Amino acid sequence: MSPQTGDFTHRAVVMVRVPGGREEDTAREQWERCGLLFSRVDHAQQDDAMALYRVEVRLRGSRWGALSEAERRVMAALAGRVTVHVGDATLLEPEDARTVVSTWHVYRKTGWGPSWAARLWVQVGAADVHRRVRLDGPGTRQEALAAVRLRPDLGGVAFDEDLHDVRPGIASAHALRPRDPAPWHARALGLPGMAVGATAMLFGWVLAAVGLWWQIALAPLVPAAAWWVGSWFADRERHPRVIIWLCGLTFVGGAGLCGFISRAISTTLGSVGGLWPAGIVLCGLLVLRGCMYALRQSWFSRNAVALLPIAVLPLAWVLPWMGRLAQGVYLTVCLGVPLSTANVDPLWMYLAGVKPAGLCIAAALCGLAALGWARHFYWITGSKSYCIVIVSTLTTLMMLMALILGLSSAAEAADHTATQAAAGHDPSPFFGISARRVCVSPLDEAKTAVQPGPVPTGHPVLMFDVTGDETWLWDPQRARGTADLTKKTLRVRTDQIATRPAARGARTCPPL
């Protein structure tokens, strides 16, 4: 898509000196072909051989690096066919300020008198009567009352000046601040808001780990920060201080409470890494934002309706393949039993593939988000091939690491199975693959074919599902002193042995 045809967030102007004559015609043709807006500055003082042009570039991305990107696009449009000199460059502010609309709610007057409790009750919306009016601009109480008086009865709540009054809404307060340019501290949902939220979560996590006296000493930092953050949501000139403080406390206190609960839960359950939930949430927000930057105004976004079914369709083959791979790592690679001997329902293969497939998809989304952030800050436009190669390589490595991490649970399950078998307990199933402890008795010990022998008859062994002429056994007492679990596997013909369930916790098998 041409950089001028889509939606944009910034406009940059670059002053360019172009040689006159044929080169000037070539420059105009190239800029027009690339969709750049340009005009010749006739009144400017210039040499006879040079013409001064004002070229406008419309960008969608960050303000950081926007001027460099605008100059790069102006030069890239010429494709080296014209030698020009770039002069001044600046970002333009919006020509028409966005229309500001304020919301005023109608509420029922309270009989509590002019107390702070009555004002708080009104400002939080508890006394609203489900009627409101919108005004262009910030508006005043008198303007809101005049607008309500024009239509006192709309068929619902009838406005009565003796019973009702109006109050400014809190949700629209951020729209009343200057937008040219918007101050960084007013962007409650931007990067500063994410940073404050992350800091509050970390503070709550630390607060849950210290003693009671430290908690009492550090707790006042939350209401202090809430007073500062509250101005992001509520205007100090239009709302009481307690409302501003409550808005900030909702944001800061909520994030801090999430960190506090996360640490408390991890401590109660005995797990390690209480910051993982908070870290995953914050990283997920960054990845989601990066993916939005990567896909907006792209070929994929314009064809999303047709491409989404095609992108989801391979999961029908990827999930069972990865599930079969996880089951193979558990049974064949770790325990030495062929996977073909296990009779597993296909549903378990899909479930076993959810974790490795999900981690691989998450790694791919991280790579896509990296491209999105590079696109947002214009890094990808200056050296597109280099950036794509680097991000693609890192994404491939992350997907391989994610696959290994997803399959590591199979190795952990195999170790857990060996531990349970050695302790005299039936092991837990692994996605449809189950084993039970049995005592084995050869029907004819002299003619029993077992590899490697002999048949263990004095203690219980693990037996997996029997699906053919051979039975695979796993002896927890075989090949002691080795970490290789595959050396404890035995293969014997099914028609040459008899099995019976072993007693729970039994370490020996009673004689027949």
In tens, the pLDDT along 370-390 reads: 988 888 888 877 677 788 888
Rounded-to-integer distance, Cα 416 and Cα 427, Å? 8
As given in the structure block, the two tokens for residue 499 are 């099995």
| Per-residue pLDDT, 186 | 44
Residue labelled with tokens 């940059």? 12
Residue labelled with tokens 């002053």? 15
Helix (H, G, I), strand (E, B) or coil at 430: strand
> pLDDT band for position 196 (50/70/90)?
confident
| Per-residue pLDDT, 94 | 61
Rounded-to-integer distance, Cα 200 and Cα 278, Å? 11
pLDDT at 397 over 90: yes
Rounded-to-integer distance, Cα 195 and Cα 204, Å? 14
Chain-centre distance for alpha carbon 219: 30
Rounded-to-integer distance, Cα 433 and Cα 345, Å? 9
For 323-370, the three-class secondary structure string (H helix, E strand, C coil) is HHHHHHHHHHHHCCCCHHHCCCCHHHHHHHCHHHHHHHHHHHHHHHHH
| Per-residue pLDDT, 179 | 45
pLDDT at 508 over 60: yes
Predicted confidence (pLDDT) per residue in 309-337, tens digit? 777 788 888 888 999 999 989 988 888 88
- Pairing between strand 461-464 and 489-493? unpaired
Pick the range with the lowest mean pLDDT from 250-254, 273-277, 397-401: 273-277
Mean pLDDT within 446-459: 75
Q: Average pLDDT over the chain, rounded to whole?
A: 79
pLDDT at 5 over 60: no
Rounded-to-integer distance, Cα 441 and Cα 452, Å? 16
Percent of the chain, pLDDT > 70?
84
Predicted confidence (pLDDT) per residue in 333-350, tens digit? 888 888 877 778 888 888
Rg of the chain over CA atoms, in angstroms?
35
Mean pLDDT within 113-132: 76
Rounded-to-integer distance, Cα 61 and Cα 293, Å? 8
pLDDT at 55 over 60: yes
pLDDT at 400 over 90: yes
Rounded-to-integer distance, Cα 453 and Cα 473, Å? 11
Q: Which of 100, 5, 12 is nearest to 378 (CA)?
A: 12
Asked whether 130 and 153 are in contact (CB, 8 A), the reply is no
Q: Supply the pTM of this predicted model.
A: 0.65
| Per-residue pLDDT, 313 | 81
Q: Which of 50, 43, 54 is nearest to 84 (CA)?
A: 50
Is the model more confident about 111 or about 409?
Answer: 409
Provide CATH code, domain 10-92: 3.30.70.2040
pLDDT at 43 over 70: no
450 Rama sector, left if φ>0, alpha if ψ -120 to 50, beta otherwise = beta
Rounded-to-integer distance, Cα 505 and Cα 511, Å? 17
Predicted confidence (pLDDT) per residue in 151-187, tens digit? 877 777 788 888 888 888 775 544 444 444 444 444 4
